[in-house]
A and B are shown apart, each in its own frame.
Chain A
Amino acid sequence: MARFGRAFKPRQVFSRPETEARDTASGPVDRERFDRLMLPHMGAAFSFARYLTRDTGAAEDIVQEAFLRSFRAIQSCRGNEKAWLFAIVRNCFHDWVRTHGHFRMQSELIDAQDHSDGPEAILERQDIAHSVRETVEALPEPFRETIVLRELEEMTYREIADLTHVPIGTVMSRLARARQMLALLILARDEGGCSV
């Protein structure tokens, strides 16, 4: 009895010992937990990776790797699954930057060229969501990551601080700076729109 009590202790965190009690093989249980806890966050994870890399193909590779890692480690996920998964996505992203340094520099160069026609030119485009997205993507790091986690993923200051390994005060000043930059770009467009 004591042996079983210990074996199932991790699952009691999710208070479902009855449905899983008879399942002694680790595979199906892992799969069920993975499907239930991780798959719902795939959209958010991809969007986050896409904002970090500004490249669809790279974001796909990173998210695939992150989900595989999350599956292998699913037993160590304790509450706040999304923040746990995002931490893995972030690690995969940093691994990717290390191995694709030259690619990263290329994309920065392309971005620099985009900037040469100015934020106004970007904002003149029809699709508002599209242009706001581009404006957010044009933000330098770490302001881009912080604003995406706060506004798009609605994480708390505490969650962002834990995820990015900085004090809450740093999260707050990054957020303020990011919004200051965005206000200049986004609200300038709105004022231009009022005159029409």
Chain B
Amino acid sequence: MTACPERTLSLHALADGELDGIHSAAVEAHLRGCPACAGEFDRIVAVRAVLSNDDLRHGIPVDLYSRIVALVDAEINLMSLNTGVSPSRPIWSWIGGGAVGALAASLALLIATPQVATPGLEDELIASHVRSLLAAHLVDVKTSNRHIVKPWFNGRIDFAPPVVDLATSGFPLVGGRLDYIGGKVIPALVYQHRLHRMNLFIRPAPDSAVLKARFDRRDGYGLMHWRMDGLDYWIVSDVEQVDFETFQTEFVHHSRQ
């Protein structure tokens, strides 16, 4: 007693309400005269009944909603920074008086900073770090939640930097920022260590070599560079060298988990 194979799809379509009146009537007429197909139809209806339970949907994790809303808020903030200044409003009123002072101060500092012979990448990184402390541009997306920072970078840069929160090691994640360095947009992760800020800059490396962490001090700021997994990393901060080393070890450890 097997159902008519050529009718199978029609039985499913009838159960799904996908048949028009004429075809429904034809299939129903067939069911009355064919016990095998009628049995098959009952099985389809029974399977559908089991699957109609609302509990079969997976419930959303508690904080997913607020995380997505926070992501969109950050997106809007960035849009208003990029495009929100209307021509009729002078830029100074938009930034606000305090920021102008900070900007002037940072310019003064940059001018006063003794320049090494060629203003290379390291100098740009330090300048970016200094700017981030003075102007109101420490972070574009302010959150310690790496699940917000990481997707926030998506679509803005063409690689995915590892984002980890190191709060348990004494380096809580403050947020993320985009900066324009060496002619490229590169992401910076901002961490805090006691009262000090640390900027971690990441960008694709020119080759896949692995370079051990190397510490350097310039203009009173510490700078540490290493290369692994095809990415170049720089930390800039005014913390002690031992803190650089701890941070670097912890970051490598957590980003590889």
Q: Which residues of A come within 8 Å of B, CB atoms?
A: 25-27, 30-31, 34, 39, 42-44, 46-47, 50-51, 56, 59-61, 63-65, 67-69, 71-72, 99, 128-129, 132-133, 136, 147, 150-152, 156-157, 169, 172-173, 175-176, 179, 182-183, 186-187, 190
* A–B pairs, 9, beta carbons within 8 Å: A34-B72, A39-B69, A42-B60, A60-B61, A61-B151, A64-B67, A172-B12, A176-B9, A182-B50
B interface vs A, CB < 8 Å?
8-9, 12-13, 16, 18, 43-44, 46-48, 50-53, 55-61, 64-65, 67-69, 71-72, 75-76, 79-80, 83-84, 147-148, 151-152, 154-155, 160
Q: Which residue on chain A has the smallest CB distance to residue B52? A: A151
Judge whether B151 and A42 touch: CB under 8 Å. no
B76: nearest chain-A partner, CB-CB: A27
Whether B43 contacts A42 by the Cβ 8 Å rule is no
Residue of B nearest to A64 (CB): B151
Task: Tell me which residues across on chain A come within 8 A of B152, comparing CB atoms.
Answer: 68
- Which has the most chain B C-beta neighbours within 10 Å: A64, A65, A187? A64
**Contact A46 to B50, CB < 8 A, known contacts A69-B155, A157-B18:** no
Contact A27 B147 (CB under 8 A): no
A148 CB, min distance to chain B CBs, angstroms: 9
Is there an interface contact between B60 and A27, defined as CB atoms closer than 8 Å? no
- B10 → chain A closest CB, angstroms: 9
Contact: B16 with A46, CB < 8 Å?
no
Write out the residue numbers on chain B whose beta carbons fall within 8 Å of the beta carbon of A31: 72, 76
